[in-house]
Structure 1
Amino acid sequence: MIESIFELFQFEFMRNALLVGVLVSIACGIVGTLVVVNRIVFISGGIAHAAYGGIGLGYFYGFNPIVGAIIFALMAALGMGWIARKTEQRTDTLIGVMWAVGMAIGIILVDLTPGYKADLMSYLFGSILTVSKANLLIVVGLNTVIILIVTVFYKELLAISFDRIFALTRDLPADTLYLILVAMIALTVVMVMQIVGLIMVIALLTIPAAIAEQFLQDLKQIMIVAIVLGGFFTTLGLGLSYYFNLTSGATIILISGITYLLSLVIKQYNKIKLT
């Protein structure tokens, strides 16, 4: 079976799927770690569903829906982040509003678009095996932007993640850095959406980082381990989904979830053993 799984990657569409999976794992490992340590997991879900409005926009005006998703995701993320920082509104309320309005706009625009929308469900549930070369190039570009931002602002992001009071005493622009962080979440969400769909974005974005955080404390180490885990989950999920004729996105998430549960058991066992 293992040999059969590796033989699958002789096909071009499987190689493309593996490549986009690895690229997305890099973004998820980096941004997902920041999401987990800042305890803003559900913001990614809100942004993902708001991005559906951009998909509808792309269908309605006849351009790449992924480009529309990027625009809407960034608008939702920055709007959500700015309002949360500048007003006393509850963040969870804002997420719910953005979530609902984005989905509603997307659905209405799709309804108003003439013709048959054959690949619409792929944005909800993912379709890694049908990622186009154009979308692959978009993923490469988004990944590059995220890596550059984190490289340039790593110390500042580290400061606001673990000690916001310290960051403020050092006159760091905490609000601006927060907006940069949510913008990176938006870009990552659009990438993840192509693999597992809007429905399961949160899982792939956060599970690898959540596993790594249980056993590590250094932010860089958590990011590296999360990247490796994400790549492993994606590769194994692709192989198993093809071999057993299963939905690839759901298979990837199921493997990730089982591994997370096992990590919880191991963590608890180590605690009991130490006591």
Structure 2
Amino acid sequence: MTLISTKIGRKGGSNNRKRGSFKSSETLIGIAAVLLFILAWQLVTTAVRFPYFPPPSRIIANAVSRWFDGPWYMLWVGPNAATQLLPSIERLLAGWAIAVIVGIAVGFAIGLLPRFARYVEPPMTFVRNLPPTALIPVFLLILGVGDSMKIIFISSTVVWPILLNTIDGVQSVDQTQLSTARSYGIRRSRVLSHIILPSALPKIFAALRISLSLALILMVISEMVAATNGIGFEILKGQRTFRIVDMWSGIIVLSVLGFLLNQIVQLIEHRALRWHRGARNNG
């Protein structure tokens, strides 16, 4: 028995090493592809001068001087980043956090109560099919042009993927596990925390990543429409004043911000769903 277990352990360790090396290779290929794209962009825009497509070297230098010229103990965050970038991050995270709380809570309620789901499904289908940008005038009329309008605009739109994935995750729990728990008389609170929640988490985390990317887009839209600061406002101001390098540096900073936020969520997902990947690999 010990010999068999040892062989299985060695095989599992070998598989993990292979998966790790494959993932490292994928990461290196992705980095190489990005660097190759930047190099091609640099060569083309240097050889043929396009007024609206400056070289990446100018864009990166402009981004560093405009956004990250602060001292090291402030993580190089400069005055412009403090007044333009940080408000955008606050609006983004506040709207997304509200959507996460509401989406998961309401999603669990609907998923656990089928009769309630039948009543709310028609109005939900109607509201979620409304284009988000069409609601901006409504939010402006009711909430004005302050941060509350932008936060509510973000949260009311990005809540849908979280809500729908949570409902789907709750309703797709293995019925055999639920029947076994009921037959053993396990309390409903423990069934919720030990069976339903873990089963729904993979779909919830998938929705969190999608909704975070969507929140970034909506944050930019709201700042371009009704704001006097923020990275979306800075990008639009650069376009309107023909400061093209400033516009592109804002776009680059925005893409880096989206990448970093996505990596943070993926790191949390990786740690929270370690058991899920282990069960899937063993299966």
When the two structures are superposed, what TM-score results if normalisation uses the length of structure 2?
A: 0.28
Larger Rg: 2
Highest relative contact order (Cα 8 Å, sep 6+), 1 or 2? 1
When the two structures are superposed, what TM-score results if normalisation uses the length of structure 1?
A: 0.28
